[in-house]
Structure 1
Amino acid sequence: MKVVVVGATGNVGTAVLRALRDTGEVSEIVGVARRLPGEDVEPYSGCRWESVDIAAASTADDVVQQLTDVFRGADAVVHLAWLIQPNSRRELLRRVNVEGTERVAAAVAAAGVPHLVSASSVGAYSPDEARSRGEVVRRDEGWATDGVDSSHYSADKAAQERVLDQFAADHPQVVVTRLRTALIFQAEAASEIQRYFLGSKVPVQALKLAKPLALPLPKGLVLQALHADDAGRAYAAAVVKRAPGAFNVCADDILGPKELADIVDHGRFVELPPAAVRGAVAAAHSAGLVAADAGWIDMAMQVPMMDNNRAVDELGWRPLHTAAEALTELLDGMVAGVGHPSPPLLPRSPDDAPLPVLGEPAERGAEAGSAGGEVETAHDVREQFSKELLELYLSDHLTGATAGANRAERMAEDFVDTPVYPQLARLAQEIRAERTFLRNLIDDLGFQRKAHRQAAAWAGERIGRLKGNGKILERSPMTMLLEADLMRSAIHGKLGVWQTLRDHAPALGLDPQVFEDLIEAFLGQEKLLDEVHQYARQRALRNDRTTFWD
């Protein structure tokens, strides 16, 4: 069987690839994503990859044609692509999640694929009044799927169900399977889930040092969860069995307050009025302290508990992990900042992200660059170099790298709805990793980093966001052009430090080839920025073209 997986690099997609690789009936896997992973990393190796933006910054006609070409000859298409953030871009989320599903389904029909397997969710279900009475009743797939109106995720999942209903009615020759999964957890997705739901300001890692005296929870909260590996196995079973209709997929156990508190460690909890918890989350989200909005609380408090018997009976599937085990693994992963080398799953700390030219974490970059041994200290090279000048030179470049990394990451966030987002996201990842490499190299050489300069760079980059661009309360079409101009200058400055370190590498006890590789990486980054600049300059100053896709 040939299987195409759309949205193959995230939490669920990574698990589905693992499961399909272990499924004897599957002989070929094609991965589709907007940002492609490293193809030398499991489970992405061995797949053929296609970069397609299904709806963020693309037309329906173009995408359907692209996907049709990718889908031809496939026995099944598994559609997993879904945008969780940014919460503030409601129209963008709807376009990617609902219209994106319409486009994938249209390409399935056009390519003659006999089977579409789509990711639905417990979030598609209508509220269950039993929840408000404190009752736990397991509902089967016949429960209504009108969603929870105040949750954008739930509303879009319900709308996606209508798209699948219509497609199934219009194309009876295509078997349509939808998996309504519980919350899906695994360690490798820990940092992604923290970014999407908690954000960087919630100090989950503090749980290494201490536990809360009691876990605060909204009264009546109960949850179902699923380990990602069990989700992957369910998708693989659906592909092989080719069974039509909806399937609830969840672990057998239900997590109530006591179980949740036990996972945190001590078993103590305090129940709070749900309205108070909702208000607190809404305020924290508005203040930028928490990534998720209050709609997630509404959904968690209202959706039914699922009965997974149909998946067990008809797919021959059974969960191998409990919900408690899945959540424990996730929490441990969050505390440790665990991730995986794909664009959505990167670890929390940039120190743990791969530096592409070295093929390993940037934290080890300086050590990997040493010439067959330990990096020499500043004392060892003092007679050949002016320690003061070399220290200042490297520190000044670190200051520039700090500002550049922040600017690149902001550009990727701001321009997610443009066709050049993949280039910007890749550039941001590489620049951040190189900044970490330079920081650690300075430490290994025994030099001072001059932290006050890094703080000034951080502040200056944020003040720079207030530059005049002709708009106050909305994005200016000129912003991308200005930012691309600045970033082109910035990376040319970075080229200078790599050239200088290459020339002096032997005397510093470093491997010159590392810096040759970084210079080569600069050429790739220059090409990426040229593509961004070309896109921006053709649109930014004209009334008849748009920079953004909204």
Structure 2
Amino acid sequence: MGGKKIFITGMAGYFAGRLCRELDRIDWCEKFYGVDVRKPLYKYDRAEFRIMDINSPELGKWVSEIKPDIFIHLAFLVEEIHNKELMRRVNVDGTGNALKACEMADVPQILVASSGTAYGAWKDNPIPLKEEHSLKPNPGFYYAVHKAELEDLCNQYIKRHPKTIFSIIRPCVVYGPNVSNYLSDLVDMPILTGIRGYAPPLQFIHEDDLCSAILLILEKQGRGAFNLAPEDTITFPEIFEMSKKMSVNLPYWLMVLITALFWKLHIFKFSTGFLDYIRYPWVIDSSRLRNELGFKFRYSSRETMEILLRSKKILP
């Protein structure tokens, strides 16, 4: 690919940090630039960083000055917050501003992180879901709703600029030693809780595999949407068995009441909208990534869960 200039939004995020460590050493990255609302934890030899809000008009100016070869958009609020307007401003409006910056600078290659949650968790979902399946996020889970909305923005951009190499990634739940999200919070609770009568198959991608997949998509200039998930699945009962922690399965109505109360009291980091994602299936098919680009996952869903449990000292 030669020496590329790369621009990254959300550079201080936990996963962006993992990706930046790779960009700091791979031979086809000459230099990378990034923005976030706080400084990254690490210092990189090839990086130039500025503190900047994703909705700042200065973003377009800086991107136009740099003229990057590749633009990677990772600036999102993953964990749900009580201020829904702010969450949407970052996740959706921020994506719009990032794409505007790309348009101003005529960036030739773009990668945007969406999510497998955008398909929605529904009782009648086919198993597995392929990239051509329609996006139908559960209305109460704002993160997934925002991902579907930002994909609309991406598709509009692709129609305006068909020559742009545009990639959208839809990973399953991301896990690893440096990850904190909804399900890692659930596993970290003193008592593991499931929904009685429901044990949907779940997928977990290790952060190292996610990083490798992104780099491969960029290097091979993959276009369109790519599901990112290992082929195997695991259920909550299996996770309960692996962890050896005390567990309980509660009726759905009771889980809704408890979650609503604990969310209101700022005890839970997720609201009731998330519950359908541990109630109904949303298994995604990553055969396009494997067959077209030749990607091989290093970790299975089960192995990724074992790594998570070890990192939290739940497994020896």
Contact 2:31–2:47 (Cα < 8 Å) also in 1: yes
Q: Residue 12 of structure 2 aligns to a residue in which SS?
A: coil
Measured after TM superposition, the shift of residue 252 of structure 1 is: 2.0
- Aligned ranges 1:115-514 → 2 under 5 Å: 115-130=109-124, 137-189=127-179, 192-193=180-181, 198=185, 204=188, 215-218=192-195, 219-265=198-244, 270-302=248-280, 304-335=282-313
- Distance change in 2, residues 1:36/1:20 (3 Å): same
More helix by share: 1
Relative distance call for 1:310 and 1:116 in structure 2 (3 A) is same
Secondary structure of the corresponding residue to residue 188 of structure 1 = coil
1:31 aligns with 2:34: yes
C-alpha displacement of 1:121: 0.3
Q: Is there any run of 5+ residues in structure 1 with no aligned partner, and where?
A: 207-211, 337-550
Deviation per CA, 1:18-77: give whole Å up to 9, x if none: 33345332232223222112554xxx443222222113xx4xx443324433xx332111
Compared with structure 1, are the counterparts of its residues 46 and 265 closer, same or farther at alpha carbon in structure 2 (3 Å cutoff)?
A: farther
TM-score (norm 2): 0.88
How far apart, CA to CA, are the structure 1 residues paired with 2:295 and 2:155? 24
The Cα of 1:335 is off from its aligned counterpart by: 4.8
Question: What's the CA shift string for 1:73-103, capped at 9, x where partnerless?
Answer: 3211111110135621100110110011111
SS in 2 for 1:4: strand
Identity of aligned residues (%): 24
Change (3 A) 1:163 1:301: farther
Is 2:48 aligned against 1:48? yes
The residue identity in structure 1 corresponding to 2:61 is Q
Question: In structure 2, what residue type is equivalent to 1:291?
Answer: K
Look at both structures and tell me which one has the larger radius of gyration over its CA atoms: 1
CA distance in 2, matches of 1:260, 1:205: 13
Residue 126 of structure 1 contacts residue 144 of structure 1 at CA under 8 Å; is this kept in 2? no
CA distance in 2 between partners of 1:74 and 1:113 (Å): 6
Task: Give the conservation status (yes or no) of the 8 Å contact 1:224–1:251.
Answer: yes
| Count of residues in Structure 1 that have an aligned counterpart in Structure 2 | 309
**Is there any run of 5+ residues in structure 2 with no aligned partner, and where?**
none
**1:235: how far off?**
0.8
Instruction: Report the CA distance shift for 1:163/1:332 in structure 2 as closer, same or farther (over 3 A).
Output: same
Q: State how far apart, in whole Å, the 1-side matches of 2:278 and 2:189 are.
A: 24
Per the TM alignment, residue 293 of structure 1 is displaced from its structure 2 partner at its CA by: 1.1
Letter of the 1:321 partner, please give it: Y
Question: C-alpha separation between the residues in 1 aligned to 2:127 and 2:184?
Answer: 27
Identify the match of residue 112 of structure 1 among 106, 116, 132.
106
Give secondary structure in 1 for the equivalent of 2:114: strand
Structure (1 or 2) with the greater strand fraction: 2
TM-score after normalising by structure 1: 0.52
Distance 1:39 1:333 in 2: 21
Structure 2 letter corresponding to 1:159: E
Report the Cα offset of residue 250 of structure 1.
0.8
Matches of 1:228 and 1:291 in 2, distance apart? 21
- The answer to whether 1:97 aligns with 2:94 is no
Question: Which has the higher mean CA deviation after the structures are superposed, 244-253 or 310-319?
Answer: 310-319
> Could you tell me how far apart the structure 2 residues matched to 1:126 and 1:109 are?
30
CA distance in 2, matches of 1:242, 1:203: 36
Q: Deviations over 1:456-478 (max 9, x none)?
A: xxxxxxxxxxxxxxxxxxxxxxx
